Structure 1
């Protein structure tokens, strides 16, 4: 029997939560510690682990039939894909994660308009630029590889980060 459904599974912080999610649905996924190609207990299923940030591009391009990723990464990549379900899970809880725009408490930035000419760090560069443009704000948006919260106020004026 050939594979009928090729899944993209999120590698990294959501990996174990995703394996648990499939287990709750009755599917067993097993993998080695450095494996990107898991074994499935159903011969009609296949897939591999890739970063959630890239998932929507691989689904859009047809490499995967479907994938698990956040709406944030679909928007960031500008991918034209169909959302099949709204799954609420994360690496540590079953709550919805949110992206927030944050500044230090003593900042003179009180609204998005106050970011004019300022620097914002985030993983969601394209989405953040679009948000600022929608509000008529011209600010420098730089990519952050993580630990974004430690960059204010010395390196940047504000951050857009996941809570």
Structure 2
């Protein structure tokens, strides 16, 4: 039987997120001695566990049908040219989000993008950095580094950096501040452009539909509450991204109804406090494990 081959990062945040997503899609994997390969027991799916920057080439060459990779890695590989230009994003996966940012010393003379003209920028993403600055008419010297980019200004290797930022703590620890967002990235499922092989396309469609359900459920909450009838419209207006809620009469109360709603946006504490001010009581916010639209 033909099996769908998916390239996944062997270790790191993308590996953990990718494996978690596939397991939540219902796949069960047999763990053997082979560190490069895992086989699903209940679907014709095989995983290849490789370095993240190798994944685009694994998919482009046909060694794998799909790959889970950071969009930043995909973009950098495509800017380098070659066969990775034929890859496309099949599905955005909603995890491993980060931003590629230009950052400069807090105490330095560089204040904005224009001040970078003629300066040296250290980065692990020379293609993305160069392309972004070129669209703004800024010419710089690119100093390519594979790691520890944030120390480059302190060691006088470069005047500024362009690096991935999640919380900003690493920048702050090295006396740097971000001045521009160059690229926003997340984990993506990639494949070759064009018609997919029919033997694996049906498997991929099932898996992607499940993945869409997992992604939707992770961003969705189920809210249950009791609401005064005379405040129902105000309470419904506060529910973030809610479809038409289910409303039922509360036993023994003519003035109160029970409201159940699926909210497709994040539910913050401020939302609950606003609902409470409008008279909502017994408010419950529950996670949704699986969801098919």
Gaps of 5+ in 1: 91-95
CA contact (8 A) 2:121 2:162 kept: yes
Change (3 A) 1:132 1:32: farther
CA apart distance, 1:58: 2.2
Partner of 1:18: 18
CA contact (8 A) 1:113 1:136 kept: no
CA apart distance, 1:107: 2.0
Work out which of the two has the higher radius of gyration on C-alpha atoms and give 1 or 2.
2
Change (3 A) 1:151 1:44: same
Partner of 2:7: 8
Provide the rounded CA distance (Å) in 2 between the counterparts of 1:28 and 1:98.
32
Partner of 1:162: 164
CA distances 1:17-64 after superposition (whole Å, capped 9, x unpaired): 221121111112354687111232235111311222222222222221
CA contact (8 A) 1:19 1:28 kept: no
Matches within 5 A, 1:1-163: 1-3=1-3, 5-13=4-12, 14-31=14-31, 35-78=35-78, 79=84, 80-90=86-96, 96-154=97-155, 155-163=157-165
Provide the rounded CA distance (Å) in 2 between the counterparts of 1:146 and 1:159.
12
CA apart distance, 1:87: 1.0
Gaps of 5+ in 2: 79-83, 166-293
CA apart distance, 1:11: 2.1
3-state SS of 1:103 partner: strand
CA distances 1:66-94 after superposition (whole Å, capped 9, x unpaired): 1011221121111331211111223xxxx
Backbone CA RMSD of aligned residues: 2.0
3-state SS of 1:62 partner: coil
